[in-house]
Structure 1
Amino acid sequence: MTRTTTTTLTTPDGTHLAHTDHHPAGDPASTFLLLHGLAGHQGEWGALAPRLSADGHRVVTYDARGHGASTRIPVTTTREAHVQDAVALIDALHLAPATLLGQSLGGHTAMLLAASHPELVQSLILVEAGPAGPSPDLPAQIAGWLDSWPTPFKSLEEAESFLGHEAWTRTLEQRADGWHSTMDRDTIIASVAELATTAYWEEWSRITCPTLLIQGERGTMRPGEPAEMLSRRPQTRLTRIPDAAHDVHLDQPERLYEAIASFLRD
């Protein structure tokens, strides 16, 4: 029987982090910390977390600062602040050494944490995430994407059709005129500011824990980025998931689980 609890952790800078702890009965086989991507939320792991928990793992998910039920407009959104949030959760919940599983921006956070705090990390699983950069156009691209949302949506069905996945509709807020985004536009854009100017190959090269890189067959990683990652750290395992785009965990959760289970067995 798995015990599931949802609560909030307050970080030193006053940011509230909403998180959910799936704790199996008895001693867990291992612990997982799951990190969602930009503009996402912890509920995106709803298909994967129960599978990992059923295998006896303790699984913790959380809403990153500026996302979901966590503080919507935090005092800062730097890469270091995101890393320190994950460190705070690992310390407060006694998760170390943890397997970090992150998608997109969450994967980038997990990568930086593994590089800077190796003692906290047992293994690293990156989904559509890597160190490539800089990406000067990224903030403008994210702004354009957010501004393209035809809000308010008339219905959740309309929102799902536009956004592509039901999970993306769960943070919408219903008002008298329809369904609105609850995200702060400037906070989301600021969250990728450093990726516009910086590459993180040095941090990638410092990582020592076992690492699995998962790429969607139709994903958005830069051409050549996975190959460069493997050339710098040949021990990294690469798995490509068929019929998946950037949101592998939403497009193909079962195949993602199978890739993770195979990695853990090895």
Structure 2
Amino acid sequence: MELVRSVVERPGARISYLDTGGAAPVVVFLHGLAGSAQELVPSARELWPEHRCVLVDQRGHGHSTRVPDDTGRQAFVDDVVAVLDVVAPAQSVVLVGQSMGAHTAVLTAAGHPHRVSGLVLLEADVHGGDPGEAAAVGEFFGSWPAPFASRAEATAFLGATALARAWAADLEPTAEGYRPRFDPAVMEAVLQAVHVPRWADWAAVRAPTTVVFAAESMFTSARQDAFVAARAGTRRVDLSSCKRA
């Protein structure tokens, strides 16, 4: 699978994305907070070549503008639509989003129903959250002793969880060492916006939707149940159940 990196120019931000190209049905991947398109490449490999895979570095992340002018949710949605205008101007697409990326996918599907034929949401939620949590996350990212001398040093600091391993793998090599591909203050601002409840947007989604929750989900069972119940016809997959089976 060959991935070509391209860029869409947006007001106050350059949006970078990876693209397999071709004429197959398009699947667009949206990563989570403090992640990047790179971490979803293994998933894209499973769908290619039956699907054209487009993996977006959302604003503030990866190879896109690190400190964009606007960190609001609408800006993220408009970025996705701008990419769709290039890669799928005449067809609807399936959006696959993880965490913050799932939130972006929901808002995109709600606001642009003719552009989205299906949703796959990994660890999705629209409940909103405690504003103090966003500040704590920003403080955590700011506490990283970057640059790290090596990825191994980063792993030793961040831990052995799947999320920590993904962060370490995605660090940017520089002359000074390995640095995160995001700004902590931007991550805090983005999360503040994500923490505004968006129930009406979720209820407005018309595309067929599958919601996937991890075995060690970041959300309680009650929050998972409420999210799925809020939109009739939503298909749910629990990886913990799959694992036991």
TM-score by length of 2: 0.89
User: Which whole-Å CA distance do the structure 2 matches of 1:109 and 1:162 have between them?
Assistant: 30
Report the counterpart of residue 71 of structure 2 in structure 1.
Answer: 77
Report the counterpart of residue 229 of structure 2 in structure 1.
Answer: 231
Q: Check whether the contact 1:173–1:181 (CA below 8 A) recurs between aligned residues.
A: no
Q: Check whether the contact 2:151–2:171 (CA below 8 A) recurs between aligned residues.
A: no
CA RMSD of aligned residues (A): 2.1
1:1-266 superposed matches below 5 A: 4-11=3-10, 13-24=11-22, 27-28=23-24, 30-54=25-49, 56-94=50-88, 96-163=91-158, 164-166=164-166, 168-176=168-176, 178-196=177-195, 198-242=196-240
User: Which whole-Å CA distance do the structure 2 matches of 1:73 and 1:94 have between them?
Assistant: 27
Q: Check whether the contact 1:135–1:195 (CA below 8 A) recurs between aligned residues.
A: no
- For 1:204, give the aligned amino acid: W
Q: Check whether the contact 1:77–1:191 (CA below 8 A) recurs between aligned residues.
A: yes
User: Which whole-Å CA distance do the structure 2 matches of 1:44 and 1:189 have between them?
Assistant: 21
Cα deviation code 1:230-255 (max 9, x no counterpart): 22223111111139xxxxxxxxxxx8
Structure 1's 168 and 225: CA in aligned 2 closer, same or farther, altered over 3 A? same
Q: Check whether the contact 1:99–1:122 (CA below 8 A) recurs between aligned residues.
A: yes
Q: Check whether the contact 1:42–1:62 (CA below 8 A) recurs between aligned residues.
A: yes
Q: How far did 1:167 drift?
A: 5.4
Cα deviation code 1:156-175 (max 9, x no counterpart): 11213433215543233334
Aligned length: 237
SS in 2 for 1:69: coil
- For 2:191, give the aligned amino acid: V
- For 1:236, give the aligned amino acid: T
- What percent identity do the matched residue pairs reach? 31
User: Which whole-Å CA distance do the structure 2 matches of 1:210 and 1:191 have between them?
Assistant: 27
- For 2:180, give the aligned amino acid: S
Q: Check whether the contact 1:155–1:179 (CA below 8 A) recurs between aligned residues.
A: yes
- For 2:35, give the aligned amino acid: G
Q: Check whether the contact 2:170–2:180 (CA below 8 A) recurs between aligned residues.
A: no
Q: How far did 1:3 drift?
A: 5.3
Structure 1's 182 and 21: CA in aligned 2 closer, same or farther, altered over 3 A? closer
Structure 1's 3 and 183: CA in aligned 2 closer, same or farther, altered over 3 A? closer
Cα deviation code 1:79-122 (max 9, x no counterpart): 00000000111112226310000001011000011111110000
Q: How far did 1:59 drift?
A: 0.6
TM-score by length of 1: 0.82
SS in 1 for 2:178: strand
Structure 1's 57 and 187: CA in aligned 2 closer, same or farther, altered over 3 A? same
Moved more, 2-11 or 78-87: 2-11
Structure 1's 151 and 5: CA in aligned 2 closer, same or farther, altered over 3 A? closer
User: Which whole-Å CA distance do the structure 1 matches of 2:46 and 2:8 have between them?
Assistant: 25
SS in 2 for 1:123: strand
